[in-house]
Amino acid sequence: MMLLILCIRDVDIKRVKIAGKFVLYFDEIDKGSLSSVGGKGANLGEMTKAGFPVPQGFCVTTSAYQAFIQISNDMSNFFTDLDRIDADCLNEIRLMGKQIRSHLESISIPDDIQSAILEAWQRFGQNKAYAVRSSATAEDLPTASFAGQQETYLNVRGQEQLLESVRSCWASLFTDRAISYRAKNGFDHRLVFLSVVVQEMIFPDISGIMFTANPITGNRKVTSIDASFGLGEALVSGLVSADLYQVRDSKIIEKKISNKKLAIYAVPEGGTVTKDLLPEQQKVQALPDERIIELAELGRKIEGHYGSEQDIEWCFADERFYIVQSRPITSLYPIPSFSDNQLHVLISIGHIQMMTEEMKPLGISIFQTAIPIALEAGGRVFADITPMLSIKLLRKKLPLALRHMDDQLGAALEEVVDRYTSQFPSKRIPIRKITSFARPIIKIIIKNLFVNDPEQGRTIVTNLVDKSVQSCRESMLETSDPMRIGAIKNDLRNVISSDLPKVVPYWVTSIFALNIVKYLLQKWIGDSEKIHLLERSLPGNITSELGLVIGDLADIVRQSPELIGYLQTRTDDNFYDGLDDISGGYAFRQGMELFMRSYGMRCPGEIDISKPRWREMPTTLVSAIMSHVRTVAPREHRDKFRQGAMEAEEAAREIVAQVLKNKGAFKARIIKRLIYVYRNLGGLREHHKYLVVQHFDIYRKVITDEAKMFIKTGVLSQETDIFYLTMDELNTVASGNLKQNVTPLMEERKKQLELNKKLIPPRVMTSEGEIITGRRRTVKAPEGSLIGTPVSAGIVEGYARVVLHPEEAKLNLGEIMIAPFTDPGWTPLFHSAKGLVMEIGGMMTHGAVIAREYGIPSVVGIDDATVIIKNGDYIRVNGTKGYVEVLKKSETPTS
């Protein structure tokens, strides 16, 4: 779209001075001719000049279209009406489109344009047949396909048919689908022009489409070819199932021969006809093997010329191939570049951290500083775990561990190991190096399991976190050292290498303790139906406590209608102004200040340092507080937490009693000790992230302080621009070594961020671009159920509430929250939800753990749950078996 705007910005159709030729021949055109001949025409000219086998032809330029439009006295009003139309108003679009097309088809083509078209036509031959295709300035771009929005006319013969087809192509810029597409994607209707491609018609025996990357899996090494008899229009329009051939390294790796029942052919008088194929022809392989290889090699040459994967329309006639179109494949997820030819396996950090949104460059470079194996792709962070897969033990254990983070991610990695093990040569584990790292951690875990007082463990971890954060604060916030930007890297590396290894073993101990309890109970007495209750209301969980404080704030708010009205009209800049002058305001302000001291550094998507924190945007908490007011009774959140703790204690007593009765006092003491360890250390699962997020908040304060200085010196125009720099670039600016204007760089990265927003990151992919999805587990569930992973036991029914952003949530009493994912920034909503369904997650992710603590039935790992399930649908969540049933669709989705 930006290419388009740069070419034709600020054009007024009524006043534009038409300049340039009305006709350009293919050999006069290249990829820089977009504004004159549109995407399709530019590509055909580019390939012609590059020597590819393109049927000859010419383009009726956008200048001709503009001159034609200028004849109309009504188009200005039509454009004004189009500006107001919404992409979803299909009936209004249909009526307006029909009206505009009828109007344009009633206008005669100006004589000078007709003369230019006919002169070119006569040059190539009046007796030949032609394909006449629309070519808009907003199609076949690297970032927007726009394919198929306008019309194509085949086997056009004679002067009258030619001119009529050109005019119909111009009118087709206002088809229903074209209007809707532009409205949806933000294209100004005035700034999209149309060229018309007139190309010598080829009457092929075989035709089809070729992708130089597998369009389904994304694998860049695989060429995918669809082929059928006759003209390609039968395939493109979906009238016929084509043969599928896949080629890799000049070898056919897959062939699927379809039952091709019909084909489209040209007729002598012009136009086309659809014919049934003879039964003996329907199952014949359309393209011979040697031709498949030849076509694939031609596709690779075209890809090499453009430097990107291509979607190519081709045909085969008179024993040779012709290319009739090539455009970039815009649907592939980007992949990082690698210097070697080894297969690399990448896993999404965002799916592990429950934040799959696009990130700005600074957030990504912070991650790359913390995790050396981190790579950027599509504005997200991926980890290259290839070295780990060379170690036999990790090949087995890593997929199992990742299943706890996100079940589908673990399943995908299992598929990788099954398929590609031979490409990961086994390496010996460097025992000495691993032992020196693991020994102190294992020592802490063993002592915690059997010797140390776990209650003291909570104090130890809290002190470790506080000490680390205080040291960072003193070194960075209590000094004006200009080198503190550079110190961020050193501090972050110290947190990862030194502080986290001291904190994590305490939480890991709790996992070992619970798993040992489950194993021993299975072995000694069979599964206990009470064991899931042990996870309720764990003491010391920093995120659960956050949710409880939100409930306390809601209890203050519910007592004052004046305070409720106040909160709903505040902005971040004046959030606290005047609070002390209204009923309940002083108590609420004190509560908010206490909350911000402990949790103000948090927010949804907190792993991205560019995300504003709650301390900066307190209004983002208002929705959660008001949802709590609507759905939870006074003090109910505290009562539920206490009730959960009592249920856990009672379950522990019953389990110990069962073991005592069946296996004796010694084994009962073992179980009692392990439960005691788990209950006291299990709440520490969020502390390692809490530690990192507090450091991130300090870094953010330092960085925003520097941004204010950069604005004063004219380096940046606004504070948030600083997040579009990497850490190294930021350090260069801070040290005064900047030698260039960063504004163009900022603008380019902002455009790229907007493109990245539209991408859906895969969980697992390879360096070849192949997206691995893994095998879904089998679940016995009612027909039509949405299958996921059970993470919090129980069955609940209620109305669905889809929440895409927590700050916009409006949960009501008895509603089940449907979310893409959750992280600690979503915690304020959990007390308001009756159940939880997420698209991403596993047993040990934030939402699953909090759901179990709160006793909320939950299912995760349901792809597109936020799309399939609508607001107001009445659903049943089976958190025990792992599926969701839509019992009744909402007739009018609630807002």
Catalytic residues: 846
722/708 Cα distance (integer angstroms): 10
Picking from 406, 339, 417, 346, the residue whose alpha carbon sits closest to that of residue 380 is: 346
Q: Which residues, at least 6 apart from 113, have a Cβ–Cβ distance to it below 8 Å?
A: 22, 60, 64, 67, 68
Q: Which residues, at least 6 apart from 668, have a Cβ–Cβ distance to it below 8 Å?
A: 656, 657, 659, 660
- Count of C-beta atoms within a 10 Å radius of residue 282: 17
The CA-atom distances, in angstroms, between 782 and each of 174, 479, 881, 887, 888 are 46, 63, 11, 11, 14
- The residue whose two tokens read 């907007």 is 754
- Would you list the DSSP string of 500-564? HHHHHHHHHHHHHHHHHHHHHHHHHT---TTGGGGGTT-TT-HHHHHHHHHHHHHHHHTT-HHHH
Output the 3-class SS for 697-764: HHHHHHHHHHHHHHHHCCCCCCHHHHHHCCHHHHHHHHCCCCCCCCHHHHHHHHHHHHHHHCCCCCCE
Token digits of residue 156 = 């056009």
CA angle in degrees (0–180, nearest 5) for 821-826-830? 100
Which residue type sits at 761?
P
Distinct helix (H) and strand (E) counts, the chain: 31, 26
Token digits of residue 696 = 């991130």
259/659 Cα distance (integer angstroms): 65
- Count of C-beta atoms within a 10 Å radius of residue 737: 8
Find out whether 864 and 786 touch, Cβ atoms under 8 Å: no
- The residue whose two tokens read 């129980």 is 794
Collapsing DSSP to helix, strand or coil, 130 comes out as strand
- Stated as kind and residue range, the H or E segment containing 490 is helix 484-494
Q: How far apart are the first and last CA of the chain?
A: 32
Output the 3-class SS for 833-858: CCEEEECCCCCCCHHHHHHHHHCCCE
Find out whether 387 and 398 touch, Cβ atoms under 8 Å: no
Token digits of residue 263 = 């084909």
746/750 Cα distance (integer angstroms): 6
160/151 Cα distance (integer angstroms): 18
- Stated as kind and residue range, the H or E segment containing 121 is helix 111-124
Beta 380-384 vs 874-878: how paired, if at all? Answer: unpaired
Q: Which residues, at least 6 apart from 153, have a Cβ–Cβ distance to it below 8 Å?
A: 131, 132, 133, 161, 165, 168, 169
Collapsing DSSP to helix, strand or coil, 321 comes out as strand
272/88 Cα distance (integer angstroms): 34
Find out whether 211 and 327 touch, Cβ atoms under 8 Å: no
- The residue whose two tokens read 């309720």 is 536
Strand runs (DSSP E) across 216-356, as ranges? Answer: 222-229, 243-248, 251-256, 262-266, 272-276, 310-317, 320-328, 345-348
Sheet holding 152-156, edge to edge: 23-25, 57-60, 194-200, 130-136, 152-156
847/845 Cα distance (integer angstroms): 6
Alpha carbon 20 to its chain centroid, in Å, reads 43
